[in-house]
A and B are shown apart, each in its own frame.
Chain A
Amino acid sequence: MESPVPSGGTSSPVSEQVEMRQIAIRDALKEAMSEEMRHDGSIVLMGEEVGAYNGAYKCSKGMLDEFGAKRVIDTPIAENGFSGIGIGAAMCGLRPIVEFMTFNFSLVAIDQIINTAAKGRLMSAGQLKMPITFRGAGGAAYQLGAQHANSFEHWYAYTPGLKVVCPSTPYDMKGLLKSSIRDDNPVCFFESELTYSLKGPVPEEEYTIPLGVADIKKEGSDVTLITWSKNVFLTLEVASALEAEGISAEVVDLRTLRPLDEEAIFTSVAKTHRAVIIQEQHEMSSFGAYISHLISTKIFDELDAPVGLVSSLEIPMPYSKSLESVILPSKDRCIQAVHQVLR
């Protein structure tokens, strides 16, 4: 990918190395969009509440003031309509960013994303390109109930023609969003309501992170924990707890589901010989199940135990806190799964 500004490499920065500022994910996302919009006049941002309200989660705070209503566009509640408009505009030379307040609402636009954005290039034998980024929050947050807590990234990752990005830290969010915007393919970019305020080191200078490159969030030698999105933080907690028991866990943050960095998974598992996948999806037909299949078929000889998989239970998300925590992957369930593969 051509990059007008220097890339900052692929690994997360170590904040101790230099005195790096700490910013929240919502600000990292705003910086990514704003920097790209300053470079490229063909980029527009559209979605519900992105302008005058500064974004439902304040990810576009101040952008209407800087870029004006021609480029930061408040839409009515009409996801299929404005997603389709974004896709049509992308076919015609613009580079739109379409914000879904949450990806739960993308389901009424999923026909446009899958049947138009993902397939248009093939159907036109390469005559069309679709430089469009769909971004927004996904997954469960505090007691959102059944219709607002879906983790849908694997639905999009199922579709050839799309790229699917699921970052965790502020650094990854910014670098990957900039690459997503610059990509000439349609990209679905997943954030989380729970982590918009989470702060982390992000350099002042511009950088990008290429899509399709996983990141080792913690090195270890006894077991590989594979995850993505906000479950990276849960998984790091799990790894700390295991450390106290004398188990050294390596945490592989996939960062991108499609394209998938298979090599990073295989390299880590070839080192530890044991793997547990931690995901927020239900298990049946899930992305984690696919990774398990990959490991089991491509590097079967490296495995000392069957691959572990920790998922949400096969139940639509109920409201009550006590029930929600039963459904979602918990620290305890993750630790049990690691014990299982180490037995």
Chain B
Amino acid sequence: MDNELLCELYEKMLRIRRFEEEAARLYTERKIGGFLHLYIGQEAVAVGALSVLERQDKIITGYRCHGHYLARGGSAKAGMAELLGRATGCVEGRGGSMHFFDIENNFYGGWGIVGGQVPIAAGLAFAQKYKEERGVTLCFLGDGAINIGPFHEGLSLAALWGLPVVYLIENNEYAMGTPIEKTFPTEDLSIRALGYPMARDTIDGHDIFEVRSKVHTAVQRAREQNQPTLIEVKTYRYRGHSMADPQQYRTKEMVQIHKDRDAIELMGQKLDSLGMGTKRANIENAVEAEIQEAVKFAEESPYPDESTAANYVYV
């Protein structure tokens, strides 16, 4: 793997991490309203998976969406402004944390009803196949989404109709505060694929190289054969479900086990060991400046004008 790519992956993961650390700070300062679901700890999944997509491929996800938005090239300034509810936000203050969109980059949002995006993803893939675009849809969902009806209906139709879609379950071990062992009877979530049936895989989400190679295989299966895949990525979020979560369901030691394998830290060490310590420092400085600029931009941006409240209800 070439060094430039390593740097790019490092930069993208770090951008998400720093973006969200700042968001958490702004939330505690009450500058961000509503819910704030952080992706911290899971960055290698979004960055690794999106790094193997092509320009015409589409991405859709649930409400924990900052990471996917940024990994797809969404602007940190527009993202931060959105969190602060400003007119310069990526959806002009209409969405907030859970509903980022960037259709120009084929990022189809940010949806708040658990599992609701699973059939929608199949619909994006349906249109891609109908129009013969050789495009693929990558759908992210959490482990909390695999027991709800639309998950089953979406996967069932994706398999039946041979749609070019890859479903990627980010198993961060908790559906809000409920551990996975209380919601699923075995350790392998990908076995859900067997009944539809569709191809399946399991990935260690701390290993960005494994994420890249296995997602690439699934994406090729979609692109070349119009066959869907269900992938379980075993990952972990270091923060609570949302900022309101006191995390009484786990110990600090349980979190530390995963922090010890932190993908960003591992990539940083890899850059150091390859003699790219200076390059690493430059990336860190540049990301820091970018995030600080994003915060400044967001805080200085105007709120949406009241006269625009009725915009975007109808075409």
Binding site for B on A (CB under 8 A): 44, 70, 75-76, 78, 80-94, 108, 111-112, 115-116, 120-129, 160-161, 163, 183-185
In the complex, the answer to whether A125 meets B92 with C-beta atoms within 8 Å is yes
> In the complex, how many angstroms separate the beta carbon of B53 from the nearest chain A beta carbon?
16
Q: Which of the residues B113, B121, B125, B154 comes within 8 Å of A115, measured between beta carbons?
A: B113
In the complex, the answer to whether A70 meets B116 with C-beta atoms within 8 Å is no
- Residues in B whose Cβ lies below 8 Å from that of A76: 156-157, 160
For the complex, what is the distance from the CA of A75 to the CA of B122, rounded to whole Å? 14
In the complex, the answer to whether B95 meets A111 with C-beta atoms within 8 Å is no
Query: Which residues 81-103 in B have Cβ within 8 Å of A in the complex?
Result: 90-92, 94-95, 99, 101-103
B119 contacts chain A at the CB level, 8 A cutoff: yes
- Residues in A whose Cβ lies below 8 Å from that of B101: 123-125, 127-128
In the complex, the answer to whether A88 meets B121 with C-beta atoms within 8 Å is yes
B74 contacts chain A at the CB level, 8 A cutoff: no
On chain B, which size bracket covers the interface? Answer: 35 or more
Given contacts A87-B123, A115-B113, A122-B312, 11 further A-B contacts (CB under 8 A): A76-B160, A78-B153, A85-B122, A91-B120, A112-B119, A115-B112, A116-B116, A125-B91, A125-B94, A125-B312, A127-B102
Query: Which residues 130-156 in B have Cβ within 8 Å of A in the complex?
Result: 130-131, 149-150, 153-154, 156
In the complex, the answer to whether B314 meets A185 with C-beta atoms within 8 Å is yes
Q: Which of the residues A94, A125, A161 comes within 8 Å of B127, measured between beta carbons?
A: A94
- Could you name 7 residue pairs across A and B whose Cβ atoms are closer than 8 Å? A78-B156, A78-B157, A85-B119, A88-B123, A92-B58, A112-B119, A124-B91
Chain B residue at minimal CB-CB distance from A77: B153
- Residues in B whose Cβ lies below 8 Å from that of A90: 123
- Residues in B whose Cβ lies below 8 Å from that of A85: 119-120, 122-123, 126, 154, 157
In the complex, the answer to whether A161 meets B126 with C-beta atoms within 8 Å is no
B124 contacts chain A at the CB level, 8 A cutoff: yes
> In the complex, how many angstroms separate the beta carbon of A185 from the nearest chain B beta carbon?
5
For the complex, what is the distance from the CA of A92 to the CA of B132, rounded to whole Å? 13
Chain A residue at minimal CB-CB distance from B96: A123
- Residues in B whose Cβ lies below 8 Å from that of A121: 312-315
Q: Which of the residues A88, A93, A127 comes within 8 Å of B131, measured between beta carbons?
A: A93
